[in-house]
Amino acid sequence: MKNLQATTTLHNGVKMPWFGLGVFKVEEGPELVNAVKAAIKNGYRSIDTAAIYGNEEGVGKGIKEGLQEAGISREELFVTSKVWNADLGYESTLAAFETSLAKLDLEYLDLYLIHWPVEGKYKDAWRALETLYKEGRIKAIGVSNFQIHHLEDLMKDAEIKPMINQVEYHPRLTQKEVQAFCKENGIQLEAWSPLMQGQLLDNETLQEIASKYNKSVAQIILRWDLQNGVVTIPKSTKEHRIIENADVFDFELTGEDMKLIDGLNQNHRVGPDPDNFDF
């Protein structure tokens, strides 16, 4: 894990960058397009969006312009989107995929995820993802917000095991059991809201560690993700923070500091509980 382009190899052999840009809550418009372009310009090779974010067109525009300006080919970028709950079902997921791809103006996706484990619906959607994967329209397929029991249930009938599980993950929610289960099953864990949506930046323990390494709290948290073997996708629309967040490849947290950060866990979520949501 030497630089921003470093990758983890998913269980199907596809390489995915350890680090990427998230664009949740960023509306269509120049701020979004510029954030995606700034990320690519500054070395990011992974962008995470979703149909429900309502911003796939701007993400696609940012990708197109960003690649062109940086002189990089599409194959060097890893693009993720997600199928929304209302579209879970075999035919409806196939259709949702086409809509996302058209909005992004891309030929294929690198990763397509089931956004939430809606009971009674995710297995049909998974069959659709398997179809698209076998057709070569998606390089890797995965899930998001799946607890261990959701993964076990899905894998009972699945032909292809998910390559990724993207879950809320930060020092207040360290997800040790989910992580261990994913590791045993060759599923790469990916962190959403790695910065706890900005709510951890004034944490004293993290501030003390940050000053010791001469790094920011955000950088300490993101480095902790990487050293835990977790793919991370912090969101920022500000170029200076896009640069700052990715500047985590020139230092290493000691085992002791890793444990101190682990110790901040309170099983506290900022997002919905995957076992109790109604959308």
Ligand X SMILES: NC(=O)c1ccc[n+]([C@@H]2O[C@H](COP(=O)([O-])OP(=O)(O)OC[C@H]3O[C@@H](n4cnc5c(N)ncnc54)[C@H](OP(=O)(O)O)[C@@H]3O)[C@@H](O)[C@H]2O)c1
Which residues have a catalytic role annotated? Answer: 53
Task: Compute the least distance from the CB of residue 146 to ligand X, in Å.
Answer: 10
> In terms of CB distance, is 44 or 256 closer to ligand X?
44
> 197 near 206, Cβ under 8 Å?
no
User: Is the Cβ of residue 132 or residue 167 nearer to ligand X in the bound state?
Assistant: 167
Complete edge-to-edge strand list for the sheet that includes strand 138-144: 21-22, 46-48, 78-83, 109-114, 138-144, 164-168, 188-192, 231-232
CA 144-149-155 angle, 5° bins:
75
CA neighbor of 228 nearest in space, from 187, 189, 173: 189
CB of residue 134 vs ligand X: minimum separation in angstroms?
24
Q: What DSSP line would sit under 172-196, residue for residue?
A: TB--HHHHHHHHHTTPEEEEESTTG
Judged by the rule CB under 6 A, the positions of this chain that interact with ligand X are: 22-24, 48, 115, 144-145, 166, 192-198, 201, 216, 218, 233-238, 241, 244-245, 271
User: Residue 64 corresponds to which amino acid?
Assistant: K
Q: Are 77 and 19 in contact (CB under 8 A)?
A: no
For ligand X, give the closer residue by CB, 24 or 90.
Answer: 24
Nearer to ligand X by C-beta: 91 or 208?
Answer: 208
Q: What is the dihedral of CA 71, 75, 78, 79, to 10 degrees?
A: 90
* Contacts of 79 by beta carbon, 8 Å cutoff, 6+ apart: 46, 47, 49, 59, 63, 104, 106, 109, 110, 111
Task: Tell the residue number behind the tokens 């998974």, with chain if given.
Answer: 126
Helix residue spans in the chain (DSSP H): 30-41, 56-70, 90-104, 122-134, 148-157, 176-184, 204-213, 217-227, 239-246, 255-262
Task: Quote the CA–CA distance of 110 and 33 in Å, as a whole number.
Answer: 20
Q: Smallest distance, Å, CB 21 to ligand X?
A: 8
Is 268 known as a binding-site position? no
* Residue appearing with tokens 């350890």: 18
Cβ 202 to ligand X, closest distance in Å? 10
Comparing every residue's Cβ against ligand X, the nearest one is 22
Minimum gap (Å) between residue 22 Cβ and ligand X: 2
Annotated binding site: 115
Annotated binding site for substrate: 115
